Amino acid sequence: MTDELTERRRGRPVGQDLRRRAVAAVLEKGMTGRAAAQLFEVGETSVWRWIRRYRRRGHLRDDPKSGRPSRTEPERERIFRLLEDRPDLSVRALQRALAAEGLLFGATALHRFLKRHGLQRGRRLAWRRKPAPKAAARS
């Protein structure tokens, strides 16, 4: 099929274009929901849900996500500047650098911010590791 289909991981959202093509295949070309699901490599239930949404609302867009807005996004330029100056910063080091500038964010919030922008960091847990205890010599 297309590159979009082969690269999409199971359980991840499907793009608007693919949804539109699947719905059009059923509504305009007379294809069955099952056939469209197989053709586009998506779940049959998803195809029927998209058709129902299109018929009710006239569009295929997802509902707005619930939850509060990110506190890190308004500070994105500041975070990017810190990372540009010191690209090897870990999440915890970035957290400390931002705290020094008066911005307090949790490590998890920063990790999500970095992931959202494709800037994931390694966990850097080596300093926590302790040497394995030596086995007691048995006599």
For the chain, the 3-state helix, strand and coil shares in percent, each to the nearest 5, are 55, 0, 45
User: What is residue 133's predicted lDDT score, i.e. its pLDDT?
Assistant: 62
Count the neighbouring beta carbons within 10 Å of the beta carbon of residue 23: 21
For residue range 106-123, list pLDDT tens digits in order.
999 999 999 888 887 655
Question: What are the sequence ranges of the domains in the chain?
Answer: 9-57, 73-121
Please report the sign of the dihedral spanned by the C-alpha atoms of residue 85, residue 86, residue 87, residue 90. negative
Give 127's pLDDT tier (boundaries 50, 70, 90): very low
Q: What percent of the chain has pLDDT over 90?
A: 56
Measured CA distances, 104 to 92, 96, 100, 126 (Å): 12, 8, 9, 25
Give 125's pLDDT tier (boundaries 50, 70, 90): very low
Q: Are 19 and 48 in contact (CB under 8 A)?
A: no
DSSP letter for each residue of 3-42: HHHHHPPTTSPPPHHHHHHHHHHHHTT---HHHHHHHHTS
CA distance 54 to 60: 6
**Mean pLDDT, range 69-94, rounded to an integer:** 91
For residue range 37-81, list pLDDT tens digits in order.
999 999 999 999 999 999 999 998 887 777 888 899 999 999 999
User: What is residue 128's predicted lDDT score, i.e. its pLDDT?
Assistant: 46
What mean pLDDT value characterizes the chain? 83
Q: Are 124 and 90 in contact (CB under 8 A)?
A: yes
The model's pTM is 0.47
User: What is residue 1's predicted lDDT score, i.e. its pLDDT?
Assistant: 47
